[in-house]
Structures are given as C-alpha cells and as structure tokens.
C-alpha cells in the first residue's frame, strides 16, 4: 500500500472528488479526516466505509472560509491520529455571473471559500509539516484557473490564485521535505453536475473540447491525488497536473 500508516485531511469530503479521494486514500492505507459543510449524513457514510476498511476516519463539520474552524479541524485530526501527513485542499464552490452583473457578495464568497479556505487549512498544517520534516499538500484547482471561463470570473480568479499559491508554497516548504502540488480537473461527472438544470448544455460544450471523448470521473482525480500524496512523487513539487481528457489542449 502506498500510504500505509499515513494520516490525511480532505476538505469537502462528503461528495464528488473529495469523497472519491477520501476512499482512495484509505484503500492505500491512510487514515482520513474529511470535512463537510452541508452533507453530514453523506460524510459520515464515507467515514464509516473507511472504518470498514480497517482505517481510522472522522467526519467534521467545517466552513473552510472560517480561519478558526480550519484550526479546530487540524487540531482534532492530530488528536485523533497522532499526526497529519497529507492535506488535500478540495472544498470549493461556484456562483456564476458575467462580470458586469456579478454582485460583491458573489465575488467575495467564492474568493473566501476557494482561495482563503485553502490558506486557512494550509496555515495550520504547514507548521506541523515543517516541524516533522515531512508533508504532502495537494490543492485542487481547475483548468479554468489556467484559461478562464465565460461567466466565471470569480471562480477562475480563485482557481488561478490557487496555482500561484501552490508554487509559492512549494518554494517556501521544499527545504523541509514538504511537497506541494496542484491538480487541475476539467469537467468531472459529479452529483453537482448531474443536478444542474444546464447539464446537457454544459456536457455538450465540454465534449466538443475533450479529446478522449468521455467525461472524467471523481476517481480519475483521486488516483492522481494518491500518487502525489505518496513517496512515488517525492521529487515532484510546484506542479499543476491537468486531469481533463485533453480538454485544455
């Protein structure tokens, strides 16, 4: 197993990419603390599945945009597992509008969740990683942080910010044996997408770009996260790995 004896925090672990990542980390041997904001029953269900694998797991409610709540999650993970080795910053949101109609609230909320939320968790995990001279940080960004997307200036800005943040962190933490990387998905088949009233339109547009001619699945992201969280990726840092079926090409 790639992650035997390791301990991970996954934000937004109650559905989609975060849930798949939590399960895959556990299959490779990690204990997992997963956070949720709305979907508590689902989060506890995934935590139960992880415990059935013989791993430890806890599901904690958290608004990642709140600094003190992030701190409490990291503290609870350390209390439960003894230490933390892996941080997967995944939780995020979108609130779309064209820039000339976007409200201040739409801009601020997306930035504080998608960008400040990543800072909040990293700020509390990084000193631990630095002290123990070991850590893996994987930030989930988006191909729309690389290229921008119409109607998502707030989302694209936040995801582009994550890329810059990842590279800066890699420089700051590299001397302490901490790897920091980002994974940039294209369109992924999640419950959020399936519930969207514009699903067919969104999928049709994406399929016109995806050279592999299939939608990505949450497990496609999870497999890359597990690799980056393992020592097989020990000499990779500051990178952005696209998982998009060629959508960005």
Residue 155 falls in the annotated catalytic set: yes
- Give the SS3 label for residue 16: helix
**Catalytic residue among 155, 165, 197, 248, which?**
155
134 token code pair: 């070991």
Check if the beta carbon of residue 221 is closer than 8 Å to that of residue 188. yes
88 token code pair: 């997967």
Counting beta carbons within 10 angstroms of the beta carbon of residue 78, is it exposed (0 to 12), middle (13 to 18) or buried (19 or more)? middle
- Give the SS3 label for residue 203: helix
From the CB of residue 68, how many other CB atoms can be counted at a distance below 10 Å?
9
From the CB of residue 154, how many other CB atoms can be counted at a distance below 10 Å?
24
CA distance 62 to 69: 6
CA angle 38, 44, 46 (to 5 degrees): 105
188 token code pair: 């992924």
Residues recognised as catalytic = 155
């Amino acid at each position: 197993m790639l992650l035997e004896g390791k301990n991970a925090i996954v934000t937004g672990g109650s559905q989609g990419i975060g849930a798949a990542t939590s399960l895959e980390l556990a299959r490779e041997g990690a204990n997992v603390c997963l956070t949720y904001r709305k979907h508590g029953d689902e989060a506890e269900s995934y935590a139960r599945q992880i415990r059935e694998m013989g791993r430890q797991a806890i599901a904690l409610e958290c608004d990642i945009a709140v600094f003190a709540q992030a701190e409490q999650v990291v503290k609870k993970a350390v209390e439960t597992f003894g230490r933390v080795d892996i941080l997967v910053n995944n939780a995020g949101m979108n609130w779309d509008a064209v820039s000339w109609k976007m409200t201040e609230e739409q801009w601020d909320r997306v930035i504080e969740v998608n960008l400040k939320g990543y800072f909040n968790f990293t700020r509390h995990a990084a000193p631990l990683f630095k002290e123990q001279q070991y850590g893996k940080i994987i930030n989930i960004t988006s191909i729309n942080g690389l290229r921008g997307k119409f109607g998502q200036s707030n989302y694209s800005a936040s995801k582009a910010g994550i890329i810059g943040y990842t590279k800066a962190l890699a420089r700051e933490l590299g001397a302490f044996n901490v790897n920091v990387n980002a994974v940039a998905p294209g369109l992924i088949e999640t419950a959020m997408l399936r519930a969207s009233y514009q699903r067919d339109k969104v999928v049709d547009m994406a399929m016109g770009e995806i050279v592999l001619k299939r939608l990505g699945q949450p497990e496609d992201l999870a497999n890359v996260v597990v690799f980056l969280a393992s020592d097989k990726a020990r000499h990779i840092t500051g990178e952005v790995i696209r998982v998009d079926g060629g959508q960005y090409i």
